[in-house]
Amino acid sequence: MMMRVAKPIHDTSGPEVEWDDTPCPLCGHRDEEVQFEAPDPNPNNGDALVFAVVSCRQCGLKYTNPRPDEADIARFYPEDYRPHRRPRKMVQAGKGSFVGRWTGRTQRERTGDLPWVGQGRLLDFGCGGGSYMKRMADQGWTVTGLDAAVGAVRHIQEELGLLALVGSLPHPDLRPASFDVVTMWHSIEHVHQPLAIVREAFRLLIPGGKIVVACPNIDSWAFRTFGPRWFGLDLPRHLTHFTPQTLRAMLTAGGFLVESIRPIRHSDWIRSSARLAERKGGATPWQKSLVWKPLAKLAALATYATNSCDCMMAVATRPE
């Protein structure tokens, strides 16, 4: 397996990164093959580090390996990491337009579609800046956020007045069967032990409770078009690279009954991939053309029609 380390990250006077050579995060086997290598797209890190994405020969899961260990992964998150930013505008949630519901147009904006479960107690794992929590609280949900970013949690506590905790799962302040819904919006791909996180979410839910997981889909048209320059890779911050099949397998291994896995289209992801390909050099004319917003929107619609979007959302239930 290849991985080139040309210099330490961010602080050249600091210690070198500690690397974690992991077995498959889903089935635990050590039977992998390298699929491709790609650098960190963050321009501040340059191309000094090249990360390998491997595929498990036993279960098909793709994951970054080796990877920065849990103590060092934070060094790869820039201070202005977008999901941790304060939301510019809080929007009252609604059911979304007819077109949006039928074309996979929205994701978090479609919070009105989340069915009320039990007493309406919701845990948002990887809550980021708290915009989703605010929208759900406005609908009457009792919300709790959990995130490893201290600054983001402090913002939620002090400026939004909502309950948020620093850390991951398991968390000492969270009790079994204390939530009706657990949401994971683009967070499961960031954790070192996704199966353990899913199993802990199962423990926190009441029987009949729901888990909602959204993440990138590496079995997508955009990945096939852009390859290692696909925006959804975001190496090394994304540690697990799911397909609909492996996301279903992960949730099933965690004890859940999967109700649905549906595509979510993001034309801005396609445009971001096109810009990344241009910046790295060697982009084809077709890849460059997808920077144009109307064409990216048409491409996103086509991916939705062919079930090959670069994002997906799963809904699963803890059995009664």
Residues 178, 202: contact at Cβ < 8 Å?
A: no
155: CB partners within 8 A, 6+ apart: 86, 129, 130
**Residue 166 pairs with which residues in a beta bridge?**
147
Candidate CATH numbers 3.90.930.12, 3.40.50.150, 3.30.70.1520, 2.70.70.10; the one for domain 97-317: 3.40.50.150
* Separation CA 25–CA 254 (nearest Å): 12
The whole-number pLDDT of residue 10 equals 39
**CA separation for the pair 183, 137 (Å, rounded):** 14
Helix segments in 144-238, DSSP class H: 150-155, 194-204, 221-226
pTM: 0.89
What's the pLDDT at 92?
Answer: 34
Q: What pLDDT sits at residue 66?
A: 96
Per-residue pLDDT, 257: 98
- Integer CA distances (angstroms), 285 to 7, 41, 231, 256, 277, in order: 33, 21, 18, 44, 11
Instruction: Extract the residue ranges of the chain whose pLDDT is less than 50.
Output: 1-13, 84-103, 105-112
pLDDT at 117: 83
Do the strands 205-216 and 179-185 form a parallel or antiparallel pair, or are they unpaired?
A: parallel
Terminal CA-to-CA distance of the chain, rounded, Å?
A: 44
